[in-house]
């Protein structure tokens, strides 16, 4: 779906800190939303969560840096990092160019998936939230 020029694929779940989660079998792939990457500007550095690291939903697990901004990466789901997108170390701009495909951040083996998906947004809840975020950043 598109919300005021920002793309949000329908098959993903979204965290309030603007990270997405895609359930693929027993793994969750996570990344940064189109809204967040456009707001941040050109990403120049990514600190990825390391393989084997335990993640807790909503807690920081890495960082992103652009020319005008440094921000944290927040885990949309609790679990263990299975792998991180090593391509981002040499090409962090993949987050800008392809936030939902080549710019993924890490793959997680979830520890409490069904319960935690309830804390994420899709559909109408997402539309309302993103519209309020757009209004907030325009102020």
Q: 139 pLDDT exceeds 90?
A: no
Q: What is the pLDDT of residue 19?
A: 98
Burial of 115 (0-12, 13-18, 19+ CB in 10 A): exposed
Q: What is the pLDDT of residue 69?
A: 87
Backbone φ and ψ for 123, nearest 5 degrees, come out as: 55, -135
- Average per-residue pLDDT in the chain? 96
Please state the rounded mean pLDDT for residues 114-136: 95
CA 75 to chain centre: 8
Q: 110 pLDDT exceeds 90?
A: yes
Q: What is the pLDDT of residues 54-76, one digit of tens each?
A: 999 999 999 999 998 899 999 99
Q: Tell me what percent of the residues of the chain surpass a pLDDT of 90.
A: 94
Model-level pTM? 0.95
SS3 126: helix
Q: What is the pLDDT of residue 68?
A: 84
Which domains does the chain show, CATH number per domain? 2-118 (2.40.50.100)
Count the residues in the chain.
Answer: 139
Q: What is the pLDDT of residues 72-101, one digit of tens each?
A: 999 999 999 999 999 999 999 999 999 999
């Amino acid at each position: 779906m598109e919300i005021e020029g920002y793309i949000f694929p329908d098959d993903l779940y979204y965290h309030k800190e603007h990270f997405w989660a895609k359930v693929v079998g027993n793994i969750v792939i996570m990344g940064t939303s189109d809204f967040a990457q456009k707001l941040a500007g050109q990403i120049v550095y990514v600190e990825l969560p390391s393989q084997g690291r335990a993640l807790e939903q909503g807690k920081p697990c890495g960082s992103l840096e652009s020319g005008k901004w440094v921000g944290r990466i927040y885990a949309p789901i609790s679990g263990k990092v299975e792998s991180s997108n090593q391509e981002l170390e040499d090409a962090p701009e993949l987050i800008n160019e392809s936030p939902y495909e080549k710019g993924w951040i890490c793959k997680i083996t979830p520890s409490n998936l069904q319960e935690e998906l309830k804390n994420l947004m899709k559909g109408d809840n997402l539309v309302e939230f993103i519209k309020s975020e757009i209004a907030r950043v325009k102020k």
